[in-house]
Amino acid sequence: MKTFEEKWTAWLDDQLSGKELVDFEASLPDKAAAEAEKRDAQKLGALLKEQLGAQAMSNEEFFSHQLRERIGRETASQDRYGERSTWWTVRRLVWSGAASLAVFVICAVFVLRDKNPGEQSQYLTQILNARVDPAVSPNATISMFETKEDKVTVLWVEGLQSLPADYAAK
Amino acid sequence: MRNCAFFVAASLALAISAVDSINAAETVWSGLVMAENVSRPAPIPAELTRIEETLKELFGYNQFQVIGQSRKTLKTGEEDWLASSKYFALHVDARGETEAGYVLNLKLFKEQELLLEMDTKLNKRSPLVIKGPQVGGGQLLLVLVVQ
């Protein structure tokens, strides 16, 4: 047994027929007003169907376009990553490391071989030559060295004639 | 265009100042220093502060006093000067400038007598210390520092 609302909705949608239609229309208190309302409802339905149908189509295309683009981007980036990752294989990494190490060792050997340990550093004061008068100080000896802490170059003269304390005067 | 001109001018100024600083005159301090052991040592002279520990360790004295000194500003690198005390004189003859310092000829005199002569390349960052004769209970040292 259909309620009045169900029959009303079916009537608006032209879904009633035969005896059911006749009975329902007879039960309407103001048939003219009901017909006017039915026309308005049908117009509104047509309008909504037209508008919503167009929007739904537009959204669908938009989302579909977005999805296609995203899939395309992800596929492309996966392809690029795949290309890079294939070049740096473990084997190539090992060979690259070994080659770098070999270059470093060769450079280190050359640098160390060029450095003469007996040569005075250019960052320190160098003593080119030193002499004492053998007539004045016949037993004098001269040596030189550098202190690493504060880069002091020292000329060490031993055997100079000792002098009395008076010579310390200013 | 204005920015470009400003950049060029600033670069030029920097370059000129860099060249100028390279050629800036430097001062060589030369000192006759008496090293002694005393019960109450006087404070070390400012010129020797940097190498105080080295002097104490090397020579074993606790007091270092300047008995003669000279501070010479080198402009051409060809100057000569004298640092002297009552009995000693250190004659320094600069014979040119190198990239790292100066070529110097040093002569230590006791009154008129030449005790020691040497040639050295004095580095701007490396002081030179020369052990001289024993004087009384102490030791005469010659020190040269580029300041």
Would the CB atoms of B129 and A154 count as touching at under 8 Å? yes
Q: Band of the pLDDT at B3, cuts 50, 70, 90?
A: low
Give mean pLDDT, residues A128-146: 89
Residue B10 has pLDDT above 70, yes or no: no
| Closest CA relative to residue B60, chosen from B93, B36, B89 | B36
What's the pTM value of the predicted model, to 2 decimals? 0.57
Would the CB atoms of B119 and A170 count as touching at under 8 Å? no
- Amino acid code (one letter) for B101: G
B115 in contact with A, Cβ within 8 Å: yes
| Contact (Cβ atoms closer than 8 angstroms) between residue B119 and residue B96 | no
Nearest CB among A125, A149, A163 relative to B133 is that of A163
Residue A55 has pLDDT above 80, yes or no: no
Would the CB atoms of B134 and A162 count as touching at under 8 Å? yes
Average pLDDT of chain B is 85
| Contact (Cβ atoms closer than 8 angstroms) between residue A161 and residue B133 | yes
Predicted confidence at residue A56, as pLDDT, reads 56
Would the CB atoms of B85 and A153 count as touching at under 8 Å? no
Residue A66 has pLDDT above 60, yes or no: yes
- Amino acid code (one letter) for A120: Q
Predicted confidence at residue A115, as pLDDT, reads 56
Of A53-62, A139-148, A157-166, give the lowest mean pLDDT range: A53-62
| Closest CA relative to residue B135, chosen from B70, B74, B72, B85 | B85
| Closest CA relative to residue A167, chosen from B91, B135, B90 | B135
Give mean pLDDT, residues B74-101: 90
Distance from the B143 Cα atom to the nearest Cα atom in chain A, whole angstroms? 9
Q: Would you tell me how many other CB atoms lie within 10 Å of the CB of residue A123?
A: 13
The answer, yes or no, to whether ipTM is higher than 0.90 is no
Contacts of A158 in chain B (CB under 8 A): 131
Q: Would you tell me how many other CB atoms lie within 10 Å of the CB of residue A80?
A: 10
Predicted confidence at residue B117, as pLDDT, reads 94
